[in-house]
Chain A
Amino acid sequence: MKILVCISNVPDTTSKINFTGDNKEFDKNGVQYVINPWDEYALTRAIELKEAKGGSVTVLNVGEADAEPNIRKALAIGADDAIRVNAHPKDAFFVAQQITAVAKEGGYDMILMGKESIDYNGFQVHNMVGEMMGIPSVTPAFKLDMVDDSTARLEREIEGGKEVVEVKLPFVASAQQPMCEPRIPNMRGIMTARTKPLKVVEATGGEAKSEYVNYSKPEKKSGVKLIEPENAGELIKLLRNEAKVL
């Protein structure tokens, strides 16, 4: 089974978010980048399936060279090889086009992604790729198993419940917890990752359909109003009369 796992290179959750150039650009200064946390679920599940059924796991990132440390990290976790589409990812549509081009070329049985990137919070690339390729996209899935060699069984979350879906290969799915316990690289993985193939390809096409023009930050909270625990009931009155949320 050939599995393609798409990973996004994102600022760590604990990063301070700032903008430069008159709030027109994200300030990368001092920001630590990680593999998008949801994508780690996709990656680990792909490796588990490979271990159980045989095959290969390829990781794919659409981004610039600064994503390579995290691509190597994915190889250290257990992917076999990697592809980086060398481009500045302009928007989700652009990224989906690049993923689709690679996926068509490689003939994968399964394309796994994270549910959502924690930087641009799009929750869209997986469904776009499914539509561009004309194959099912099951998102967000929290369970993924093979029923037989050509059919997978997934459970996806819907508001207020879940759906059980069976699809034929190939398909796209996005992962969320509790699909698996994401793995961290071990020493041996880190050593072997250095020599695993990382292919850099140029972008094809290049249409973006949106233009980020400006950023802003939410207003700062004015500070916490403390209520004595003995008078806890006061809080309910404040929530009704002052905050007006009850």
Chain B
Amino acid sequence: MSVLVFVEGLNGEIKKSSLEAASYGSQVAQAMGTTATAVAIGEVHEEALAKLGEQGISKVLYDADDRLKQFVADAYVKVIATAAQQESAKVLVFSNSNIGAAVGSKLAVRLNGSLATNVTELPKIDGGNFTVTRGVFSGKAFADVNLTSDVKIIAVKKNSTDIISNGGSTATVEKLSADLAESDFAAAPKETVMQDTGGGVLLPEAEIVVSGGRGMKGPENWHLIEELAKELGAATACSKPVSDIGWRPHHEHVGQTGITVSPNLYIAAGISGAIQHLAGVNSSKVIVVINKDPEAPFFKAADYGIVGDALEVLPKLIEAAKALDK
């Protein structure tokens, strides 16, 4: 019996959301009196894998099959199922990413397990009950859910778990080779295109997000959003109308019909705070709103606010951010 964590790599490193999943998994293992193993697929440096020891992982199983460099759901599922069997894993932990939730859902069927996605807290384990808390109603509530099957699969919401770091601990890295067939690659992508973030931060992984709405007046003013983001190490985002008019690309649009973010800090400039926008940002820990209308609904959801013209306020924030010692 053990806990198995699936970690995703990006450019040879482990994604931040996977370090969170590893920290979650090792804490579950500790509570259950067992150890946590990670399984990694694709392109990740061995040093990065060994360093998972800092998150409490004791062993890493690594399948370096070249064909796994890009995401292929069926093949990934087979590798993780092989690892789960080898380790007699009773709890499987993923990040609630597009990849993590996809393979988690498929594994729930294959391993006949209970699945909880969008999980925000460590489980309560009490006798036979294994209860997790997950976000429901698009950030408006939480639900406690008993996972009743023998195998439990958990996809942890991004930025809801602290990354633990036992300085210096290393995990042993072992090769894993699942018996992959040609048919496991039937739905392999023809092409993978990564966005050019200009060296910036990926929105779904970001701890700080600077976002602009129609009140920014036009794409020519977006350098203010970008500059503040750069100073704060933040990702940039926007409201739906802004991407609809083409001021910004669609993948930056947050909200009910866009992506959901839960950063530590969300700065909204010239966004009214419509309920559909809030649905994508309301679990941010701290919200700052800059709007020239004191009646803008976003102020009701904000922790800090500035009533003023974003085009005048943002340069002041950029200046102050530059003056911070980093």
**Contact (Cβ within 8 A) A235 B304:** yes
| A162 vs B192: C-alpha distance when bound (angstroms) | 6
Given contacts A37-B256, A164-B191, A243-B303, contact A209 B108 (CB under 8 A): yes
Which residues in window 126-148 of B have CB below 8 A to A?
Answer: 131, 134-148
A65 touches B (CB below 8 Å): no
CB distance from A201 to the nearest CB of B (A): 22
Complex CA gap A161/B109 in Å reads 27
Q: Which of A96, A118, A132 contacts B138 (CB 8 A)?
A: A118
Closest to A118 in B: B138
User: What is the 8 Å Cβ interface bit string for chain A, positions 228-245, against chain B (1 contact, 0 not)?
Assistant: 110011111111100101
How many residues does chain A have at the interface if contact means C-beta atoms less than 8 Å apart? Answer: 77
Residues in B with CB closer than 8 Å to A128 are 105-106, 108-109
Q: Which residue of B lies closest to A174 (CB)?
A: B102
Ordered nearest first, which 3 A-B pairs have the shortest CB separation? A229-B308, A233-B320, A127-B105
> Given the complex of chains A and B, what is the CA–CA distance between A140 and B309 in angstroms?
37
Pick the contact of A221 from B106, B302, B321 — CB < 8 Å? B302
Report whether A37 and B102 are in contact in the complex, using a CB–CB cutoff of 8 Å. Answer: no
A1 to B275, CA, bound (A): 38
Any B CB within 8 A of the CB of A64: no
A142 to B205, CA, bound (A): 20
Contact A215/B136 with A139-B98, A158-B99, A210-B115 known, Cβ cut-off 8 Å: yes
- Counting chain A CB atoms within 10 Å of each CB, the highest count among B191, B257, B275 belongs to B257
Which of B141, B193, B208 lies in contact with A17, CB distance below 8 A?
B141
Known contacts A137-B73, A226-B307; is A235 also within 8 Å of B317 by CB? yes
Give 1 or 0 for each of B47-85: 1 = CB within 8 Å of chain A CB: 000000000000000000000001101100100000000
| Contact between chains at A225 and B321 (CB < 8 Å) | no
* Other-chain contact of B145, A157, A213, A225, A234 (Cβ < 8 Å): A213
Residue of A nearest to B102 (CB): A127
Highest count of chain B CB atoms <10 Å: which of A120, A215, A238, A240: A120
CB-contacts of A183-230 with B (<8 A): 208-218, 221, 224-229
